[in-house]
Amino acid sequence: MSLAVPAQVLLVLVVATVCFAIGGINPATIVGRRRGIEVSSVGSGNPGATNLGRVIGRKWGIVVGLLDVLKGFLPTFVVLRTLGTWVALVAGVACVLGHIYSPCLGGRGGKGVATSLGAMLAVVPWVALAALVVFVLCLLFVKRLGDASVVATTFLLGAGVVLAVRATSGVDRGVGVWLALVALLVLLRHRRNIQIWAGRLAG
């Protein structure tokens, strides 16, 4: 027996709230405080894996990055397997929003790259892995994490637009729009990197 519409709406709201809360857990801040460091007050001030890695070491940056990926992947994957694609899309974007606007940090979180990757690995793993390859190749070339993140996220934005335009089913079209939306959220968090990059190209 299918759920009534109000019950479906309530279910989606509960999923979104829980996933937002999970996304809001900030491993960089937790690890930093355990080591006597307030990560939002050092380095770039960004409470994310990259800044933490610069401050206390690459090993911890990698650990925190993996935790950020997992908090996007696991909730989205569980919802995908139990409630279907549409609700999983809500779960994924809620995890990313929770990371970016962490309630644990007064609405100020990280840039969302790793958490977005995790959510995309759950829904569209091949697209996410392709973006990861783009990120690694770009990082080898430019040697800057921020620039590599912008390039990989721009690739995801393009992939989302192409999928949304060329999709033959409503679900695939929704996934394409979702990909583009999540990529835009991450790009907005990297607008300073984009401005610096544009300034270098203009110069």
Question: What are the domain boundaries of the chain?
Answer: 1-123, 124-203
Q: What is the 3 state secondary structure string of 108-142?
A: CCCCCHHHHHHHHHHHCHHHHHHHHHHHHHHHHHH
- pLDDT of 108 over the 90 cut: no
CA 29 to chain centre: 17
Share of the chain above pLDDT 70, in %: 92
Distance CA 203, CA 180 (A): 30
| pLDDT tens, position by position, 47-89 | 888 888 888 888 998 999 999 999 999 999 999 999 999 999 9
Please state, in angstroms and as integers, the Cα–Cα distance from residue 19 to each residue in 7, 51, 100, 190, following that order: 18, 24, 13, 23
- pLDDT of 182 over the 90 cut: yes
In whole numbers, what is the pLDDT of the chain averaged over residues?
Answer: 88
Distance CA 134, CA 159 (A): 12
- pLDDT of 13 over the 70 cut: yes
- pLDDT of 197 over the 70 cut: no
Distance CA 128, CA 71 (A): 15
pLDDT band of 1, cuts 50, 70, 90: very low
| pLDDT tens, position by position, 116-134 | 999 999 999 999 999 999 9
Please state whether 125 falls in left (phi above 0), alpha (psi between -120 and 50) or beta: alpha
- pTM of the full predicted structure? 0.89
CA 186, 120, 96, 46 dihedral sign is negative
